[in-house]
Each structure stands twice: as structure tokens, then as C-alpha cells.
Structure 1
């Protein structure tokens, strides 16, 4: 009589194991993945400044749990993009370039996070504006699917405060401005992170964009001249500061091209994605 409870227990265990086992049976991908977009346009980036992180959503609309054998950047380890696939950083020598055996459950989806850091010096061109592209490859052979990646890259003049190492704390201290704040003839210490422009920096031209981190200050007796067609970009919490006795001259001109605006002087943030076009305080 004692055998029956044991037999029943074994049957229950086998039934439970059988019903759950299919959750761990992954079929090879058949090239029927769907994507939230077929091309990912990353925001314009300036030399040596990485882009924002963008995401791509990948859908498995089928009834089967699938295994994506390979997921990689088209340029492989040499790509200037980096990926994070649902928290995974990849299998190659350099993180974020190549992935293997990615599991995706039936009727489920996953996120791929994409970013880039591009050094303009590595791009073989003499122009000052570049389009960098690559692809994300899902699987290979007849099951291969791709999503394109596109980034506009610009060379720029960077103006930023110096950083000094505090030997006691090991922390970096960012340079702050010292000038006569209250007009009493004595310079005052401030907490404004930035630096004064050097004499050879007091003319902004239209040759390259200017990107300002912190505050670019014009000292008493100096004048900053900004030529027609110049483009000045400010990082978050940054700006121009003209001290008492200093001056700013902006030589904007009417443009003949209403799209290019070649004569106007444009001040804007350094986040150039369309979604930030009207966002203050970037």
C-alpha cells in the first residue's frame, strides 16, 4: 500500500518537470525578428564626445522561444559603436561589439542600447563634418537581418575650465572664476566653474563650431568678437560671462539661404537631436 503515494509523487514530479521543460527549449532564430526601427539615427556628436545612449527594441512575435546565434556590429571589434543587449556586454575582446546565443522568449522583446565615442582623427577625410555608419547584424546566412546605425560627427573648438588634482583628498578641483563681482575694485572668489578667454581666443570664426563647458569669461578691457556664421554650443550649466569693462560684439548678417543660415550667429546647446531643439537648460 505504501507504493501508491510514492508512485503518485513521482508522477506529479514528472508532470511538473514536463510542463516546465519547454520554457528552456530554444529554437534557432529563423530571421523573422521585428524591430522598432530599421535605422537608428544617433545625435550629432562633437570630436571625442560620446553620443547620448539610444535604444532599439527587438521583438519575437512567434510562438516559440528562440536563440539568436550571433548578434554583432558590422565592423566588429573595429566599430566605433558600443552595444548593451539587455544588460549583456558581449563576448569579444572589446565589450559591446559581439554577442552569442541571445535568448528571446516567445511573444517577448528585448532592448539594445547603442552609443558611440568617435575620434575624428581616425576618420580618413579632410572635411570638418562626417557621417559615420555601421550596422547591427542579427544571425548570418539566409537568416541574417540588419539594422543601420548613422551618426553625424563634427570637429569643434572646445573651451573648458582646467582641472587640478587635490593631493590631500585625491579629488579633482575644477577651476572657478575670480573677478570683481560687486564693483569695489577687489577681485572676488566665486563658485562659477569656468575660465577667462586667452587673447588668441577672443575671435570666434565660422570655421568650426565652438563648444563651451562651464563659463567662458571675457575679462575687463577685453572684447570677444563673434564673426558672421559662427556656431556656439553650450553644455548644460554653461554660458558666456562678460565682466564689467569687458565687451561682446556679435557680427551676424542676413542669410541668403533660409535653411543653412550662413550669415546668422547661432547660440544653442550641444544636444543637437531634434527632440532637444526647444528644450531649455540642456
Structure 2
């Protein structure tokens, strides 16, 4: 054998030997003191609706030692009947809710993903559900607690009323697709009713009267919607996510999670009283015509955090009393023709840039009598617009826009005794106006929350601050017709009512 051949064989043997050594598994530790570490001692879900699969939560399992660890057994203490399930290192727990021989290399980690589908509990209040995720290794057992609150819910999928119905506060309602109130039918919401709306997909709803393009799950009203909340038992309409979109922002604070409430009623008795609507795209849409307006009374209600508009009224007959419309990606109130009566309401547009939609470029209140497209003018006559004792403010320098025209289109607008943020106000329709350039925290309790510390700092609070220019400045004659504020507080007790929805 030549020296070259011998050298090749030696090199080949070294390569193979090194390869075999590199393929050998790390030796497993058998030291009972070598334990796992976890990213959390409890995997905690918030409210999860019964029979509906939860979101997936993550647990990270660490091996901080210089030898590999073998988890001999990983299982749920509740066994196969547990309502929880998990996936560890890519392996699903299956019907047995158990895995064996899971390996974690030295100084490495694995992910465990946990879900839950609670069973119906036949109760109106949430039920605490717990289990333990157990890890057996080196003769020791470690555990991570799993917990959630299971809430029974009435599930409605692409639901259209066939008769008058009443929703009660006994159990919440979960809407998928759409909730449709046909012409001639009335849906009544009792005080304390909670409606949760799942994020949906685009569809066309064919009602027999019109075809409606829906971009998300939506409540469609062609008949009547009557929401009868009270100050202590408010009605809630919001998205169905209870978890956190980011580590510091819960989904309950985010817009565009569902579509909105769309009113197409040719005739009707629509009312939203003491109702809180949050997290949609257009909170309330009134879609009427110049001959048949859509009527809606909003009283003591909150429309908050919308991706586009808070209330968009096209040829609506809209009344907004003692209400808050706030933080919308576009205008909080857009009136395209029709009639608007807005008294003692707070219109505050402080949409944070961190949210979808970012800071709005539209004024908080926009009153429009015409639009132009390709040179053609579309008329939206403003038959009546009366705004009194209201706050109109936000992030922009000018938060009120009145779009009149010299084309003879009716523009009957009267605005008085309001606090309005603006650089300059020269509209002849304004009377006894307090013009301000003040930032939000000079008017309200809080408009710049600390999102890095949201649980402690709180969220937006549009009650008046101590130094607010809106204090004691309302027109008493108007206030006497509306003696209590949005929260039920007497605004006449000191004979100096405040402007806006909240009495200090």
C-alpha cells in the first residue's frame, strides 16, 4: 500500500469517527436535583366560551443543565376527560392527553402549546376550570397549573330572526357571520345583555330587499333594534377576544375586530340606550335616502375604538344624547344629509398610532351637504343639525368641519355652547363657542395612557379633569331637559352644569 493510499484511509477513518461521535446523543442526567424551569408557573386563559375552542397559549420548558434531560412522562392530571389539551415539541397529546420520552438537549428548551374547549356548565356565570400539566423525570414530578373560566354562551351563526325576539342577560350571545333583523321584526335587548362578535370574513347577505356586502361579522337591522340598558346594567356589544394582542395591549382595546351595526330600516323605532359598543369598524351606520331617513336614538351610550367611523349617518334621523363617541380611525361623527340632534355628548378622537388605523386625519365631527366625484355633485341636504353643550376634540388642530356649498343645498346647522378644539373657527353657524387648543389631558382625566403599564395606569378616561375648560360652562336652559349625565350623575346639583357627557 502506498503512502498516499494509507494517508487517504487514515483521513477517511478520522472523518467517519468524528461523524459518529457527533451523532451520539448527549448523555441524560439522572440527578434528581436537575429540574426543569418554566416560562410561567401557570398557563392562564381568561374567559373561554363553552364548546368553542380557545386560542393557543405558549409555555416554554427550559433545561438549564449541561446534560440532556428526558421527560419520561408528560400528561394532564385530569386524564383523557380533561377539557385541556397540549402539544409538546411538535407532538400532540391526543386522546390520552399524555406523551412519553420527550427529550430536551443540554442548555436548550422546548415549546408546549395549550388549548381548552370548556364543556357547557349550565350556569349563567363563568365557572373556574383547572388542571395540572405534569412532568415526570429523574424520579421527580413537576407541574404547571392550567386554568380558565368557562362561560356558557348562546351561539348564533348567520342568524336571521323569524319573529320578534328578546335577548336577556342570562347568558351572553356569540355571533358568527351576521345577525339579521328583517323588516317587520324587532329585536329587544334587555338591560345587562352581552353580545360578543367573532371576527368573520367577507360575504354578501341577501335579505330579499337588498344585497349587502359585509366585510366582517355584522349586525344588520332592516326592522327594529331596541337596546334598553340602564346605568347600572349596561348593554355590551364587542369582539369576542379576551386575550392580549400584544404583551401590553388587550384585544378589548383594539378596533376593527368586527363590522358594526348597520341600520337600513325604512320605518322603525331603533334605540341604543345605555349601550357600550367597542372594537368594530363602523360602530353605527345609518343608511337611508333623501325621502326615507333611518331613525335612531342614542342615549347614555358609548361608541369607542372603531377602525373607521363611530357613527356614520347617511340620510339618518339621528339623536345622540348624553353619549360618548371616541377614538375612531376616521371621524367619530359623520353626517351626510338628514338630521342630527346632539346634546351633552363628548366627541373625542384620540386614536393612538399604535392601534390599527393610527392617528386619524379626519375631524372628529364632519357635517357634509355634498360630495363631488368626477366633477359631478351629489347632494346631501342637511335638514337639521343641532349640537349643544358638547365637547368636540381630538389629536388634530381642527376637529370640526362644516362642508356647506353655494349650490343651494339646504344646510341648516346650529351649534352652541360647545367646547371645540380648533385653530380658527369662523363658521356663522356657531354661537357661544369655547375655542381651545388644549391637549387631551388638559380637558379629560386621561387621553395618553401608559401602554407599557396599562394594567396600573388605566385606559382612556373622558371624564373631565379638574382644570377642564368645559366645567360649569353648559347652557343651563338646555341642561334642565337632561338633568343626569351618562353615568347617572345629577348635573344640576350645583346649578353649574358641565359641557359634555360627564358631569365632574
Report TM bin, short chain. Answer: 0.7 to 0.9
Residue matched to 1:266: 236
Alpha-carbon distance in structure 2 between the residues aligned to 1:103 and 1:126: 42
1:153 aligned residue: 150
The structure richer in strand per residue is 2
- The alignment status of 1:230 with 2:209, answered yes or no, reads no
Comparing both structures, which one devotes a greater share of its residues to helix?
A: 1
Residue 247 of structure 1 aligns with which residue? Answer: 224
Name the counterpart of 2:305. none
TM-score in terms of structure 1 length: 0.74
Q: Does 2:188 correspond to 1:219?
A: no
Match of 2:134 in 1: 137
Alignment match, 1:208 = 171
Q: Tell me how far 1:239 sits from its aligned partner.
A: 2.3
SS in 1 for 2:10: helix
Q: Distance in 1 between matches of 2:177 and 2:256?
A: 13
Give yes or no for contact 1:40–1:149 (8 Å, CA) kept in 2. yes
Give the Cα–Cα distance (whole angstroms) in 2 for the partners of residues 83 and 129 of structure 1. Answer: 23
Aligned partners of 1:102 and 1:126: how far apart in 2?
Answer: 39
Q: Is residue 2:54 matched to residue 1:51?
A: yes
Is the 1:228–1:265 contact (alpha carbons within 8 Å) kept by the matching residues of 2?
yes
CA contact (8 A) 2:31 2:138 kept: no
Contact 1:28 1:69 in 2 (8 A): no
Structure scoring higher RCO (CA < 8 A, sep ≥ 6) equals 1
Q: State the alpha-carbon separation in 1 of the partners of residues 98 and 113 from structure 2.
A: 13
Contact 1:214 1:238 in 2 (8 A): yes
CA distance in structure 2 between the aligned counterparts of 1:266 and 1:48, rounded to whole angstroms? 22
Structure (1 or 2) with the larger CA radius of gyration: 2
Question: 3-state SS of the aligned residue for 1:77?
Answer: helix
The offset of 1:23, in angstroms, is 3.3
Equivalences for residues 16-165 of structure 1 within 5 A: 16=18, 19-20=21-22, 22-28=24-30, 30=32, 31-90=34-93, 94=95, 97-120=97-120, 123=121, 126=123, 128-139=125-136, 143-161=140-158
Q: Which runs of 5+ in 2 are unaligned?
A: 200-215, 245-249, 258-504
Residue 128 of structure 1, CA deviation: 4.0
Q: Distance in 1 between matches of 2:82 and 2:153?
A: 22
1:198 aligned counterpart, secondary structure: coil
Q: Does the 8 Å CA contact 1:206/1:229 hold for their aligned counterparts? A: yes
Shift of 1:29: 7.0
Q: Per-residue displacement from partner, 1:181-240 (whole Å, max 9, x unpaired)?
A: xxxxxxxxxxxxxx421326x211111101111111111122211111110111112121
The number of residue pairs the alignment matches comes to 233
CA distance in 1 between partners of 2:17 and 2:219 (Å): 72
Using the TM superposition, give the Cα deviation of residue 104 of structure 1 relative to its aligned residue in structure 2, in angstroms. 0.5
3-state secondary structure, aligned to 2:253? coil
The answer on whether the counterparts of 2:26 and 2:67 sit within 8 Å (CA) in structure 1 is: no
- Give the conservation status (yes or no) of the 8 Å contact 2:176–2:197: yes
Matched, 1:196 2:166: no
Checking the alignment, whether the CA contact within 8 Å between 1:44 and 1:153 is kept in structure 2 is yes
**TM-aligned CA distance change 1:77 to 1:48, over 3 Å:** same
Unaligned runs of 5+ in 1: 162-194, 256-262
SS of equivalent residue, structure 1 residue 150: strand
Residues 43 and 271 of structure 1 are in contact (CA less than 8 Å); yes or no, is this contact kept in structure 2?
no
Cα RMSD over matched residues?
2.5
Whether the 8 Å CA contact 1:59–1:109 is kept in 2: the answer is: yes
